Structure 1
Amino acid sequence: MVYTARYGLEFNPFLKNSKEILVSTKEHKEVTFRLDYLAKTKGFGILTGGAGRGKTTAIRSWASSLNPSLYKVIYSSLSTLTVNDFYRNLAEELGAQPSFRKPDNFRVIQDEISRLALEKKKTPVIIIDEANYINNAILNDLKIMFNFEMDSRDRAAVLLAGLPQLNSTLRLGIHEPLRQRIVMNYNLDGLTKEEGRLYISEKMKGAGCNQPIFEENAIEAILNAADGTPRIINKLCNASLLVGDSNQINLIDAGIVMQAINDSELG
């Protein structure tokens, strides 16, 4: 990408598939603290946030920090799996042979969780992303599946992550028994203006940039349009770099950002 050279970037840090640069905001530290608590306490945890607020990035960063000799991390996304596929995938990821029938997979999953927890002394950490797609049947099943009657302590940490409507689903009366087992519930808010500025500068620094790229009014315009959502900050920074380069402008101002906003159909 030729335009990265104009702005002194080794790569474009605002693209999704570029090298990940984690910005340690106050919110990110709080999320990590809550997730660590869930892993130690075990039971059910809920992490919600609007689209593009950084849930998956935070979860991925946290999961990679867990000691593999103490935790076994299993990740699945409900947006891509049918109900039966969900159970088969969970059994397989736990290291067991999945069955075709749901009751058999239930038993296989429970047996494998017990084996990991009691014999291997490992805590299974089961992350269910995009859990706002979860249906009532799966929620009821989860309550049963992770209920080990002979043991008063939970044997696994189960994190449900998704959009804020996940909490609305859990507030339904039929889910009261499951809700009582939730030990952590956190909603990711957007970045503050101060954190937004830090986010942009840390991303650029992580990409080897030692020169100013955005004027202060340009950063202000990006942050106003993004409303604290990291995904939109990335989108607008990237679009601004493209517009700036095509106009052969070395220092991006608010005018370039407004053009980028229009190009991104956010204006």
Structure 2
Amino acid sequence: MDYISRYGMDFNPFIKNSKEIVVETSDYKEVVCRLNYLLNNKGFGILTGGPGRGKTTIIRNWCNSLNSSLYKVIYTSLSTLTVAEFYKNLAMQLGLEPMARKIDNFKIIQNEINRYTVEKRITPIIIIDEANYISNGILNDLKMLFNFDMDSRDRAIVLLVGLSQLNNTMRLVANEPLRQRITMNYNLDNLSKTESKEYIMAKLNGAKCGSNIFDETALEAIANASNGIPRIINKICDSSLMIGNTKNLNTINSDIIMLAVNEIELG
């Protein structure tokens, strides 16, 4: 028997599907609120959090909600580039022909951002993912690159997304000029035990599951073993569905969760 039909789901909500189920936790709502504040005020924003906390998922869904006639989203995770390569990459993302020299790329990028904001009335949103790997050289240049009209206005939004150590980098004396320009800074925490259980139930509801697949002992075990990290919750739930189906169980308990946790750790 197929595990999806056994557990009465339209699809497995714990793996990447064409249909994404967005679980609006308190942190999710807070991040969206902060991002909208950044949208209105422009400038620089920072979003940090440990691996698997859902940073990229939140950013992706927020970007999808924006009016494309008012905002141009440029996303890059190529944060281990040199300064020169970063400029060339950003120029290409803006649809420009990259120049050989950094100073020339600097000029054409600024001109293009000005063209978007002044002529087209479109605000560029530059999202740099995995920004904890970004070099101090690029961070130093960011403030200059997005300095318009003698620093009297912000023409674009720059969002740095990465692991929590990004904040340590920003505290360095060398990055003080950029840090003073930060409009929004938020760190994603782990889900609480209650939120972890609500997260699982919301995922199941999104997959049109009408029964209680996981009993209370299972939910408690998942919350404890995952430490409230969404990516780990998904992996445990996915593995436990497979194991439960193999054992012909219609309800999953903590014993199955422990088997799933062991399987993930061995994998």
What secondary structure is seen at the aligned counterpart in 2 of 1:264?
A: helix
The residue that corresponds to 2:167 in the other structure is 167
The answer to whether the 8 A contact 1:21-1:206 is kept is yes
| Cα deviations by residue, 1:181-229 (Å, 9 ceiling, x for unpaired) | 0010000011112211121111111112111110011010001011111
The residue that corresponds to 1:8 in the other structure is 8
What secondary structure is seen at the aligned counterpart in 1 of 2:46?
A: strand
Instruction: Give the distance between the partners of 2:82 and 2:215, measured in 1 at CA.
Output: 48
| Residue 254 of structure 2 is aligned to residue 254 of structure 1 | yes
The residue that corresponds to 1:50 in the other structure is 50
| Residue 238 of structure 2 is aligned to residue 216 of structure 1 | no
Instruction: Give the distance between the partners of 2:171 and 2:13, measured in 1 at CA.
Output: 39
The residue that corresponds to 1:152 in the other structure is 152
The residue that corresponds to 2:140 in the other structure is 140
The answer to whether the 8 A contact 2:125-2:156 is kept is yes
Instruction: Give the distance between the partners of 2:71 and 2:181, measured in 1 at CA.
Output: 20
Instruction: Give the distance between the partners of 2:168 and 2:156, measured in 1 at CA.
Output: 24
The residue that corresponds to 2:116 in the other structure is 116
| Cα deviations by residue, 1:220-244 (Å, 9 ceiling, x for unpaired) | 0001011111000000000110111
Instruction: Give the distance between the partners of 2:92 and 2:232, measured in 1 at CA.
Output: 36
| Cα deviations by residue, 1:118-143 (Å, 9 ceiling, x for unpaired) | 11111111100000000111101111
**Cα-Cα RMSD:** 1.5
Report the CA distance shift for 1:213/1:82 in structure 2 as closer, same or farther (over 3 A).
farther
| Cα deviations by residue, 1:154-188 (Å, 9 ceiling, x for unpaired) | 00010000000000001000111000000100000
Report the CA distance shift for 1:166/1:151 in structure 2 as closer, same or farther (over 3 A).
closer
Q: Where does 1:1-267 land on structure 2 (aligned, <5 Å)?
A: 2-79=2-79, 81=81, 83-150=83-150, 152-265=152-265
What secondary structure is seen at the aligned counterpart in 2 of 1:155?
A: coil
The answer to whether the 8 A contact 1:129-1:160 is kept is yes
Q: Name the % identity.
A: 63
After TM superposition, the structure 1 stretch with the greater mean CA deviation from structure 2, 12-21 or 162-171, is 12-21
**Counterpart amino acid of 2:14?**
F
Report the CA distance shift for 1:219/1:18 in structure 2 as closer, same or farther (over 3 A).
farther
Q: Which runs of 4+ in 1 moved over 6 A?
A: none
Aligned-pair distance for 1:18?
A: 4.9
List runs of 5+ in structure 1 lacking aligned partners. Answer: none
What secondary structure is seen at the aligned counterpart in 2 of 1:234?
A: helix
What secondary structure is seen at the aligned counterpart in 2 of 1:96?
A: coil
Aligned-pair distance for 1:71?
A: 0.8
| Cα deviations by residue, 1:84-105 (Å, 9 ceiling, x for unpaired) | 4432221122232222322211
Report the CA distance shift for 1:133/1:217 in structure 2 as closer, same or farther (over 3 A).
same
**Counterpart amino acid of 1:48?**
T
The answer to whether the 8 A contact 1:44-1:157 is kept is yes
The answer to whether the 8 A contact 1:78-1:133 is kept is no
What secondary structure is seen at the aligned counterpart in 2 of 1:46?
A: strand
Instruction: Give the distance between the partners of 2:143 and 2:72, measured in 1 at CA.
Output: 20
Aligned-pair distance for 1:81?
A: 4.9
What secondary structure is seen at the aligned counterpart in 1 of 2:241?
A: helix
After TM superposition, the structure 1 stretch with the greater mean CA deviation from structure 2, 81-90 or 18-27, is 81-90
**Would you say how many aligned residue pairs link Structure 1 and Structure 2?**
266
The answer to whether the 8 A contact 2:79-2:128 is kept is no
TM-score (norm 1): 0.95
Instruction: Give the distance between the partners of 2:180 and 2:25, measured in 1 at CA.
Output: 31
TM-score (norm 2): 0.95
**Counterpart amino acid of 1:231?**
R
